[in-house]
Amino acid sequence: MANLINAHLILVVREYAEMKRKLMEILACPIDKHHPLELLVFEEKEEIVEGLIICPRCLRWYPIRDEIPEMLPDELRKENEDLPFLKKWKEKVPEKILLEGRPFNLKSEMQKKF
């Protein structure tokens, strides 16, 4: 009986995670209203813990931190919070976003290395 309950719980968790991913099908960029957006998953448990939502049209990126997508307009974003997040995951972030991403990017930092 316990195995049956555990199997059911695993199925429910998977369906919930799949439902959360399906939300990407309806999300649009809050700035230019572009759809569909791109999703990069950096850390995942039952949910996406950390990741990035990218608008391929305007190159804005929105962090997913602690399972929460932060899709704020530029004027509400905090460079001192967003840049460390981008630096933390730069090995997994597309180069175009690292160099040209909005509202913040690592272009000046990356140019110093060369």
- Per-position pLDDT tens, the chain of length 114: 555 444 433 433 444 455 567 788 889 999 999 999 999 999 998 788 999 999 999 999 999 999 889 999 999 999 999 999 999 999 999 999 999 999 999 998 887 765
Domain range for 13: 2-112
Diameter of the chain measured on Cα atoms:
62
Distance CA 113, CA 47 (A): 36
Strand pairing partners for 50? 43
Count of domains observed in the chain: 1
2, 26, 76, 98 from 101: Cα distances, Å: 49, 22, 16, 6
- Is the Cβ–Cβ distance between 47 and 20 less than 8 Å? yes
- What pLDDT was estimated at residue 9? 39
What is this structure's pTM? Answer: 0.81
